[in-house]
Structure formats: structure tokens, C-alpha cells
Amino acid sequence: MMNQIILAGFGGQGILSMGHFIAHAGLLDGKNVSWLPSYGPEKRGGTANCHVIVGDEEVGSPIISNASVLIAMNGPSLEKFESLVEPGGIIITDKSLVPVKPTRTDVKLYEIPATEMAYELGNATYAGVIILGKLIALTDVVSTENFEVALRSILKPSKHFMIPEEMKALQRGAEYV
Amino acid sequence: MSIVFDRPHALVDKPLHYCPGCTHGIIHRLVAEVIDELGIEGKTVGVSPVGCTYNNYEYFNCDMVQAAHGRAPAVATGIRRSLPDNVVFTYQGDGDLAAIGTAEIVHAATRGERITTIFVNNAIYGMTSGQMAPTTLVGQVSTTTPFGRKPELHGYPVKVCELLSTLEGAVYIERVAVNNVQNIKKAKAAIKKAFELQLAGKGFTLVEVLSTCPTNWGMNPVKSIKWLEENMMPHYKLGVYKDISAE
Amino acid sequence: MSEKLLMKGNEVIAEAALRAGCRHYFGYPITPQTEVAHYMAKKMEQIGGVFVQAESEVAAINMVYGAASTGKRVMTSSSSPGISLKQEGISYSACAELPMVIVDVVRCGPGLGGILPAQCDYFQIVKGGGHGDYNLVVFAPSSIQELYELVVHAFNVADQYRNPVVILGDGYLGQMMEAVEFKDEEVINKVEKPWATVGTNMEREHNVITSIYIEADVLEAHNNKLQAKYRAIEANETMVEEFNCEGADVIVTAYGTVARIVKNVIKDAAKEGIKVGLIRPITLWPFPKASFEKYAETPKGFLCVEMSAGQMVEDVRLAINGKNSVDFHGRTGGNVPSQKDIMAIVREIAARK
């Protein structure tokens, strides 16, 4: 099984970091992984996306042409990438920021008010992790244990105090229906 | 009987290829004498430029590296940073240093690279046969200013010492000439001081030497010296432009 | 073996160079390879190495020339327009036989072009963007692990042959993260460098590093010497991956990131009963001609895929030498050939009589 995940949203939402957490946790789980960021002109325009592949087989192209999952953290990202999701694939959106529905009807859609939930937890930056909680619950792409280890190795030590809250946010996302 | 005058050890025993009356030979000798006197030949690496002195690596007895046109200060930077305990000098002409290599010399000085640059200014391109140099004087005839250098068409001659002495990384900048015995002695003292400051680890040092080009100026050697005194020296004033050891 | 680390390509380039004993780096900022300089700036200061941010690409390559003259392991990195500026220094370095490693993380051109990935520097690196008859050894890694291994290897090859060596990647290879497993100790080919200009210490004749030979016969003799060296490199250093080529219906050839897209295509095609092979040159110079000669008459046709308007395809056609058809598919401007488009051409070739 190869999880081919596209994560997309505004710059500043932590899109690239979200992808990094998943790729790192996947590596710790013993999977083959790749993480490919957008670094082109769209980055300068304030949007960000990355392609993350996690699976048991060797990673072929790091560029995803058939996504098993799309995480859209804003409206334009949904519109731009929904066509890349394979039939039967998954789209997860931050309902707080994505007012539109996908045009695709052959995919499974999960709309999570992640930003609102993050505010309830006291920090808007948790929105990404809430979404990743749902991703992990749906796909088992990585283990929660190694997700926490990944947070610890990627986040600067000065941010480590946030990790228990991040893990709580992950749990909230997983439980959201 | 004792020998009172001999070829410096730092010069190879080989005839120089320069034109009759050219002052490069004098300047080579001054550099070699200084290397001998300071006893640094074994740890010196010189950088040859592009121009008339492109192959002066054949004349200096120390290790030598030939550089692309204008790039000698960058090449010297690479050498210096690799050999922190050695002595590194570049030998460059006016086209090499003040036209195509302007960026390299300015930034080597800016960084305070511990190198010594011998900058030979004869106000003309010699090797390529007499084109306008960045230091060609207003009114001076060259093969590319056949009616004389006109500021409105060709701009103004650049004063390298004045320019570089504004930079903090430059610790010693002096302009000398090799038109007479007295000035030749001063030139040698300046070159020696530059190497000494390099050895003391102070920073970037440069000695500009006003020089002649009888062939491309179209004059005999005696007239060339006179032309240098009457035309170049009033524009390019001799003297120390920067000396941190005096401050 | 140590643990697997998740690292960005550009950082792996720098780390691999340090592990190969490189303590001198000269560069100038340009996207998409700047992380190499960031990594070097930090590490070199910590370990007492040399990092200089030069005033230009031109200066940077000439600093490399100077450092290489002293026999030090030295590297510079840049991206396409910056490499164009370095070409003067590269030609001089090839002539002066200076070992060095030059990294080109290719972006799309021509001109200032864009910062997205491309493979449009094949001509300027493989065929020589500088003047004169010279060759650079060119490695084209396609994964982060291979990038690490080839950077270390590049320093060894550079020293062994006294020749500049290039790591040719694309923007994606520089920017992506993948697992890399560093060896506990690198294989470092220690080569004596009696030619280096480090000062005579008054114990030997002076050494001269030069690229100028004014006399015709002297320069020709030097050229002949260089050519003999290039023939030795061709004989000994060619690297290639041949995958699934035996009995293939179609053989696709690609290097770097594009070769990985082709590997996906191979899986897709197998589902349709089409056997697709891949010839992936790992050295672009020397070009792995023998692999193409070996399989020239095996498939119904060859397909060369590049992120360019068609550059490596010229070498592929020379290697096939008219024995089979060679189709080309390329995307430019920072676009990447898609699995779907490659698959469509593969189907068409496979259907040929």
C-alpha cells in the first residue's frame, strides 16, 4: 500500500511542516517515504503544497499524479488539486476555511472545522494537526507513537512544551465525525 | 672579490619577453628582491593575470597560478583561504584589475583578504595592442580612441587607489612610479611594506605602480618616461592613500 | 551502518561533501540550491573549514580554482544561470586539470527563466558550456541516497583524474526529502598531489598551475593528453542502470527525477501487458553507449523523456545509430512529464508492427 498524500493551503498554515511530520513518522515506522515541497512561484504568491508518499514499496516518482488523499486547507487548493485524487480516494478539508464542496462525487469527503476546533483548544496553529489526526485515523499511514517522536525531532526544543497539546489536537481530529 | 649586484633568487634565470623600455622588468625585479629580503620565497604563491604579464609564472621562482582575465583576486582568495600560513600576491595590469576584474578586486579588498596586489598602471591595453584602458587619460589616443579619449563618449579614467582606500578591508594602499631611481626605491619600499603587512595578518594591501608602454604609446623609452611624468603623474598622484600601521 | 535520516537533497549534498573531506566551499546564492550554502556556512564555521559567499558566480568558481590549485577538496554549487556564469572558470579548470566538484541544481531556462525544476542544462554541462575541447565527468543521481553516494564518489573521481566533476540534479532533487543512510566511514581515495601550488619550501622547482599554452604544438600535446585521460574515464567510470530491458516491448530512457516517473510507468504498463524497460544513465558523460548498443534492436522503439526540449535525446540517437526508432517526449518551463502522457506514447510504440 502506497499512501500518496497531497497537502495544500495558504503559506503560514504549516502545510510543509504537516507533510514533514507525516514523512518523518513514516520513516520511523520503517516505511519508504518522500516529501516534495512546492517551491515555485506559487510559494511566493502565499500558497503552499507538498507531496508526501509513505508506503511499503520503493517510492517511484516523488511527484504524485494519482493522490490517495488530498488535504485542502483552503478553497483554491481544493479546486486546484481535486482532479488528482484517484477514484475512491479521500479528500479532507478544513471546513472553517473551505466554504466550497468538491465537484468530485467518486471520492470520500471529510469536512472538519479544524480551525474552529483549534481555537477551542486555544491555538489556531493546531488546525493542521487536527486534520492529520483524521488522516491517521482513516488511513493508518503512520503510528501515533511515531508521530509524537517525529514532532519531538522536528520542532525546535523551545516548542516542545506544545507537544502534549498537539497530541490532544491529533486525538480530537481522529475522533471528529 | 664579492658580488654586489645579482639576480634575486626569486627570479628565474630567463630572458624576459617584454618590449624594450617596458617597466614590467623593473617591477618584477622589485617584487623578487622583496621576496628574497623577507625570506618568503618558499611559502609564497603568486597569481599571474591575463595581459602582457600572463606568463610571469615563468619568471617568478615561487609557486605560481595563472588566472582568468580579471579573476586573480578571486583565485588568490581561494589560495589564501586554503593556505592560511602562506604569502599570496597577485600581479595585475589596468585592464585586468580595473575593467574586467573590478568586482573581484573591490570585493577582495572589502573582505580584507590577506593578499598583496601589485597593480601595474600604464594607461593602455598592451597585450591586445593599444586599446583604451579604464585608466587611459582624457585626450589620450589609443586604437579604440583614435581621436583621443573623450569623456562624453568614453567616460573618465578610474583612480584605483582613491577608490579602494575607502574600503575598510584595505589596510595599505599606495601609488608609486618607476620613472627614476628615487621613485624605484620608494616603489620597492612600498611593495615591501605591503608584504610585511600581509605577513602580519592585517588585511588587503595594494601597490599601484605607474608604468610605461613605449610600444603602444608609440614613443621611445626616454620619451615614454617623460610622458608618464608630464601626463600620468599629475592625474594619478603618488602617495600613500591608506596605511593602518600609520594610524 | 547508521540510522536512516530524513533530509533535503540540498542538505545531503553539503553533508556528503563534508564527509568526503571537503573543507572549502565557495558559492553565491541562487534558488533552488541555496540550502547547500546555508548548511555549509553553519558547518564550516563550526569545524574550522572555509565558507566564502563570493561577490558573483564568476568569483566563486575562480576561488574554487585557487583552492583546487592548492590541492584541497573544494566544491561550489549553483543553478543554471549561475552555472552559465561559471563556464569560463570551468573551461580554465578543465584545461589546468584541477579537481573540483561543481553542483548544478537545474532550474528552467533559457534566460532568467524560472526557478522550477528542469533538465535543460544537459547541453551546457555535458557538451561543454565553456570553450575548447574538454569534458566534465557528470553524475545524475535520481534519489537522495544516490545523491549522497555520488557526491562522495565525485570527489574521488575528481582527484583520481585531476578533472572537474559535476553533480547534475534538478530542482526537485535539491528540494525534496527522502531517507538517507550515511556510512560510518566514507571510502576516500587519497591521491598525492605533487603538482599543487602550496609553496616550494625551497625544496623543489616551482609548481605552475596554468591553462595557457601559446605554442601550437605544445597546446596540441596538452589537448592530446586531456583526450587520453577522457578515453580512460570513458573506459572506467561509466555508470548506468538497466531495468527490465531484456525482451522489452519499449525501452524508455531518462535520468534523474524523470527516471523515477518512468518507473511508475513501467508498473502501469505491466498491468496492460506491455513490458517497458528503462535505461537510466547515471553518468551523462561518459554516456553509457554500450547499454543502448546492447538493446538497440530489442524493443519496438525507444522513447527518451526529459524535462527539456530534447537534449540527451541527441546522445541516445547517436548511440542507437539508426538501428531503431527514438521518440522524444519533453516538458519545459518547470512542468514535469506526466505518467499519463508517457504511458500514452508507450502504448503507441508498443502497438507498432
Domains parsed from chain C with CATH numbers: 4-237 (3.40.50.970), 242-350 (3.40.50.920)
Contact flag for B and A (3+ C-beta pairs < 8 Å) = no
Distance CA A17, CA A21 (A): 6
Give me the pLDDT at residue C225, please. Answer: 98
**3-state SS assignment for residue C140:** coil
What digits encode the pLDDT tens for the residues B28-39?
999 999 999 999
User: What per-residue confidence (pLDDT) applies to A44?
Assistant: 58
| CATH number assigned to the domain comprising residue B110 | 3.40.50.970
The whole-number pLDDT of residue C2 equals 65
- Of the partner residues C6, C257, C264, the one whose CB lies closest to the CB of residue A27: C6
What is the distance in angstroms between the Cα of B112 and the nearest Cα belonging to chain C?
Answer: 13
Q: In C, which residues are within 8 Å of B41 by CB distance? A: 200, 202
Write down the pLDDT at residue B246.
85
| Residue B142 in domain | yes
Which of the residues B50, B55, B61, B81 would you substitute to probe the C interface, choosing the one with the greatest number of C C-beta atoms within 10 Å?
B81
Q: Does residue B98 surpass a pLDDT of 70?
A: yes
> Which of C52, C56, C67 lies at the smallest CB-CB distance from B103?
C56
Domain ranges of chain A: 2-175
Residues of chain C positioned with their CB less than 8 A from the CB of A60: 260-261, 263-264, 267
Instruction: Enter the C-alpha cell of residue C129.
Output: 558550456
Chain A CB within 8 Å of residue C135 CB: no
Q: Is the dihedral of CA C119, C120, C126, C130 positive or negative?
A: negative
Of A159, A129, A172, the residue nearest A22 (C-alpha): A129
On whether residue B80 sits in a domain, the answer given is yes
Higher-pLDDT residue of A46, A153 = A153
Overall domain count for chain B: 1
Chain C contact for A134, CB < 8 A? no
Q: pLDDT at position B106, please?
A: 98
Distances (CA, A) of B60 to B16, B51, B65, B194: 11, 16, 11, 18
Q: What is the pLDDT of residue A12?
A: 84
Q: Report chain A's C-alpha Rg in angstroms.
A: 15
pLDDT for A143 equals 98
Pick from A23, A32, A39: CB nearest C175: A39
What is the pLDDT, as a whole number, of residue A39? 79
Instruction: Find chains touching chain B: ≥3 CB pairs under 8 Å.
Output: C
Chain C 264-303, CB below 8 Å of chain A: which residues? 264, 267
Single out the residue of B57, B84, B112 nearest to residue C67, CA to CA: B84
Determine whether the interchain pair B65/C201 forms a contact, defined as Cβ–Cβ distance below 8 Å. Answer: no
Q: Quick check: C55 and C186 in contact, CB under 8 A?
A: no
Q: From CA B187, how far away is CA B177, in angstroms rounded?
A: 7
Sheet arrangement for strand A2-10: A108-112, A85-94, A67-72, A2-10, A47-55, A32-37, C177-181, C4-8
pLDDT attached to residue A45: 59
Q: Are strands A32-37 and C50-53 parallel, antiparallel or unpaired?
A: unpaired
Which residues of chain C are at the B interface, by a Cβ-Cβ cutoff of 8 Å?
Answer: 24, 26, 50, 52, 54-56, 58-60, 62-70, 72, 74, 88-89, 92, 96, 197-203, 206-212, 214
E strands along B55-210, which residues?
Answer: 63-66, 87-93, 116-121, 170-177, 204-210
Structural domain includes residue B1:
no
Q: Which grid coordinates belong to B104?
A: 573581484
Average pLDDT in chain C: 97
Q: Spell out which residues of chain C touch residue A27, defining contact as CB-CB under 8 Å.
A: 4, 6, 179
User: Of A32, A39, A61, which has the smallest distance from its Cβ to C264's Cβ?
Assistant: A61
pLDDT tens digits, one per residue of C244-264 = 999 999 999 999 999 999 999
CB contact under 8 A, C199 and B83: yes
In the structure, what pLDDT confidence band is assigned to residue B113 with cuts at 50, 70 and 90? very high
* CB nearest C200 (choices: B41, B78, B83): B41
pLDDT of residue B50: 97
Partners of chain C (3+ Cβ pairs below 8 A): A, B
CA distance B17 to chain C (A): 13
Which residues of chain C are modeled with pLDDT < 50?
A: 1
Residues of B in contact with C200 (CB under 8 A): 41-42, 61-63
pLDDT value at position B247?
Answer: 75
C-alpha cell of residue B40: 618568503
Topology of the domain covering A2-175? Pyruvate-ferredoxin Oxidoreductase; domain 3 (3.40.920)
Q: Shortest CB distance from C67 goes to which of B42, B57, B78?
A: B78
Q: Is residue B166 part of a domain?
A: yes
> Domain for residue B14, yes or no?
no
Q: Which domain holds residue B124?
A: 24-246
Residues A149 and A87: their CA atoms lie apart, in Å, by 33
Chain A neighbours, 3+ Cβ pairs < 8 A: C
Give me the residue from C116, C178, C264 closest to A40, CB to CB: C116
Taking the CA of residue B199 and the nearest CA in chain C, the distance in Å comes to 15
Q: State the DSSP H helix or E strand holding residue C276, giving kind and residue range, or none if neither.
A: strand C276-281
Mean pLDDT of B2-27: 94
Residue A167 — very low, low, confident or very high, per pLDDT cuts 50/70/90? very high
